[in-house]
A and B are shown apart, each in its own frame.
Chain A
């Protein structure tokens, strides 16, 4: 049973560029959440997708956007990258019914903005 997978594992971008990160949820899960983890900090919630729609959003600017596909996989897009966007981006999945609060994480994508 495959767990949550993310790609790529590492990325280096320059300020002002745009980036797309990808996530495939754990088998049987239909809800995907994205988190940003800055160095030495706990993960911060970016947004959550269910049924191809953004269900809730954390305190992140509109430069951060996402998408969920019919197969439940998801993308995180960040436009106009800033140095402060350098972080580990984590994807987590959960079922939509009972157990929705229990999220399983992927290995993350480490983004460095120069």
Chain B
């Protein structure tokens, strides 16, 4: 089946620290992979995506590389800011079959950045 496992939070960092949030997945076939971010009291915003092996998604200083051999899609940022404080969700979507276009989410990782 399809599932996503994220590192458990919360993660607390000082401003300008390096961020890694681990994400691994199980899927039939080769899905598309996503990171979404949720700020307090809001819906989900698409942060970045990758659609095939070795693709690197990037946005707002965040990056994640689709690693087929380790079934991973870890989120990284070189220097976090207070404004990055939010909950981050890793997700996958099958690209064919009866579950095409359905998102499977991890449980989310709370990030808090202190000034």
The yes or no verdict on A and B being binding partners is yes
Besides the known contacts A42-B91, A103-B93, 19 further A-B residue pairs in the complex with CB atoms under 8 A apart: A4-B43, A33-B102, A42-B4, A42-B106, A42-B107, A43-B89, A48-B102, A88-B43, A94-B101, A101-B93, A101-B94, A102-B34, A102-B49, A103-B103, A105-B36, A105-B44, A105-B46, A106-B43, A107-B43
Interface residues of B in 35-84 (CB under 8 A from A): 36, 42-46, 49, 51
Q: Give B residues with C-beta under 8 Å from A.
A: 4, 31-32, 34, 36, 42-46, 49, 51, 89, 91, 93-95, 98-108
Chain B: minimal CB distance from A24 (Å) = 14
* Chain B residue with the shortest CB-CB distance to A104: B46
Q: Which of A27-57 contact B (CB under 8 A)?
A: 31, 33, 35, 40-45, 48, 56
CB distance B43 to A103 under 8 Å? no
Q: How far is the CA of A6 from the CA of B46 in the complex (A)?
A: 17
- B43:A101 contact, CB within 8 angstroms: no
Across the interface, do B93 and A42 meet the contact criterion of CB distance under 8 Å? Answer: no
- Cβ–Cβ contact A41 & B108, under 8 A: yes
Evaluate contact between A101 and B105: CB separation under 8 angstroms.
Answer: no
